[in-house]
Amino acid sequence: MSKTLNLVLHIWRQKNRDSRGGFVRYEISDVSEHSSFLEMLDQLNEQLIARGEEPVAFDHDCREGICGACGMVINGEPHGPQKLTTTCQLHMRKFKSGDELYLEPFRAQAFPVIRDLIVDRAPLDRIVQAGGFIGARTGSAPDANSILVPKENADRAMDAAACIGCGACVAACPNASAMLFTAAKAGHLNLLPQGQPERTARVLNMVSQMDSEGFGHCTNHFECMEACPKGIDVDFIAKLNRDYLRANVESREVNSSDNSAG
Amino acid sequence: MKKALSFLETTIGKKVVMALSGLVLFGFVIAHMLGNLQVLMGPEVFNAYAIGMHSLPAPIFWGGRAVILIAFVLHVTMALQLVTRTAAARPVPYTKKKNERTTYAALTMKMSGLTLLFFVLYHLAHFTFPGVAMGAYEHLGYTQVYSNFVNGFSIPWVTALYVAAMISLGFHLYHGSFSLFQTLGLVHPKRNHIIKGAAQIVALTVTTGNIILPLSVTFGLVS
């Protein structure tokens, strides 16, 4: 028999974008220590449905820690207390029976609450649409070594590409800044040969989009890096700053009004 | 799709201006401290230093002041623009929020900045345009800075105010000087501990050096 937990949950309930939200207290017992955090919420929702109450709405998809859909702030920490772990991969053995947990949505002006713990993270998609891609058709996978990529660059690009776009960086930032996300998405492509032709337009347009979405500015608290389930380093923010400066110098070669990275 | 924001419209652009103007002010603060520490070498040296500064060729004297003033205005303007913008970025605050990495200096940047803004205005009214401000004393012009210095710091609450402001300056410089490297993209994982260590040493040196100045009058080292 595995151990079970009894918990007190204070969950942010909010009907829609326009309504005022508030915390509702729930008690849940007999939670298996082997269940994931989302399975614990599934268990709560089954009880709520059985009682004829509205289940708690939360985002989730793969439940394998790779899609970036899930995410909530658990006792003040985006994705909860375990480092480098998404909410879905957080397990209840990280908690103690009797714990009192506050579950809040990622809070930012740019992330309006859709319902309960679900927020609209479309601004992150629009930042990627502004330049976080390669415009040219690349066809099928190229022959190995036909485009040479230094090992260090490949590693660093991969570190940045690990970003799953969950938005925990925005949630953790005291300023609700999206710099770590934007830095990861721009940095990933700017490190690779395929990303070079569009790097100037990419950086200008992605930064521009980021600032148009109402995120705050970066003041180097580095809370984002602590919250990131993929461990994206704030060194990528420095790289974005560097690339942005360089892009401004080089911008005469870019027709920035067409805004597409292609 | 819409046109990209111009350099100064973006938060990164504004921060670059803050970093560069901050660098100018940083340099000024160090030079100012070193200049004023000459008070410990006696009235002749200190008065000669003030007279020497004023007898610099006009383009250097006024040009220098203009550069500092422009840097100050740019630094404050950009800070106000960024802070007001970001104040709207999280309308509903967290009920629980754990900060795990940030520092006291980083979290109080706005407060220390505002403190320094008011302090600079007071400091100018105190020594440069005297008589305007509270804590008035018999001011004898720049040729007699030594006696101005002693008279100015003879009032205990003025000394207390300077000490408090200099502690704010220390925190502001510590976070500001590391942030400068991050904003300009000059950090490197292999160098970051050096940058952070240097930021701590410089911030501590500037704070200590500047606190010695008013306290030297309090403790009778300068009289």
Q: CA–CA separation, B211 vs A111, rounded Å?
A: 45
- Taking CA–CA distances from A72, the nearest residue in chain B reads B94
pLDDT tens, position by position, A173-192: 999 999 999 999 999 999 99
Q: Which A residues in the span 24-83 are in contact with B, Cβ-Cβ below 8 Å?
A: 73, 75-77
B101 → closest Cβ in A75, A221, A237: A221
**Which positions of chain B have pLDDT values less than 70?**
1-2, 131-134
Domains of chain B: 7-90+104-218 (1.20.1300.10)
Q: CA–CA separation, A92 vs A95, rounded Å?
A: 5
Which residues are registered as beta bridge partners of A23?
A12
Q: At which residue do the structure tokens 């200190």 appear?
A: B46
In angstroms, the separation between the Cα of residue B69 and the nearest Cα of chain A is 24
Q: At which residue do the structure tokens 């500001």 appear?
A: B176
Task: Provide the CA B65 distance to its chain's centre, in angstroms.
Answer: 15
DSSP state of B51: H
Query: Cβ of B1 under 8 Å from any chain A Cβ?
Result: yes
Query: Cβ of B12 under 8 Å from any chain A Cβ?
Result: yes
Cβ-Cβ contacts under 8 Å for B46 (sequence gap 6 or more)? B38, B39, B145, B146, B149
Which residues are registered as beta bridge partners of A77?
A74
Contacts of A214 in chain B (CB under 8 A): 88-89
Contact between B222 and B150 under an 8 Å Cβ cutoff? The reply is yes
User: Under CATH, domain A121-258 is a member of which superfamily?
Assistant: Alpha-helical ferredoxin (1.10.1060.10)
pLDDT tens, position by position, A115-142: 999 999 999 999 999 999 999 887 888 8
Is A226 close to B96, i.e. CB distance below 8 A? no
ipTM over 0.90: yes
In total, the C-beta contacts within 8 angstroms joining chain A to chain B are 139
Is A107 close to B106, i.e. CB distance below 8 A? no
Q: Where in chain A is the domain with CATH 1.10.1060.10?
A: 121-258
B94 → closest Cβ in A73, A233, A258: A73
Query: Cβ of B94 under 8 Å from any chain A Cβ?
Result: yes
Is B3 close to A102, i.e. CB distance below 8 A? no
Query: Cβ of B190 under 8 Å from any chain A Cβ?
Result: no
Q: Where in chain A is the domain with CATH 3.10.20.30?
A: 4-115
In angstroms, the separation between the Cα of residue B192 and the nearest Cα of chain A is 10
Helix pair angle (A179-190, A235-250), 10° resolution: 70
Q: What is the structure's pLDDT at A1? A: 63
Q: How many Cβ atoms are within 10 Å of A30's Cβ, its own excluded?
A: 8
HEC per residue, chain A: CCCEEEEEEEEEECCCCCCCCEEEEEEEEEEECCCEHHHHHHHHHHHHHHCCCCCCCCCCCCCCCCCCCCCCEECCEECCCCCCCCHHHCEHHHCCCCCEEEEECCCECCECEEECCEECCHHHHHHHHCCCCCCCCCCCCCCCCCCCCCHHHHHHHHHHHCCCCCCHHHHHCCCCECHHHHHHHHHHHHCCHHHHHHHHHHHHHHHHHHHHCCCECCCCCCHHHHHCCCCCCCHHHHHHHHHHHHHHHHHHHCCHHHCCCC
- Taking CA–CA distances from A221, the nearest residue in chain B reads B102
**Tens-level pLDDT at each residue, chain A (262 residues):** 689 999 999 999 999 999 999 999 999 999 999 999 999 999 999 999 999 999 999 999 999 999 999 999 999 999 999 999 999 999 999 999 999 999 999 999 999 999 999 999 999 999 999 999 999 887 888 888 888 999 999 999 999 999 999 999 999 999 999 999 999 999 999 999 999 999 999 999 999 999 999 999 999 999 999 999 999 999 999 999 999 999 999 987 665 444 444 4
Q: Which CATH code is given to the segment(s) A4-115? A: 3.10.20.30
In angstroms, the separation between the Cα of residue B119 and the nearest Cα of chain A is 23
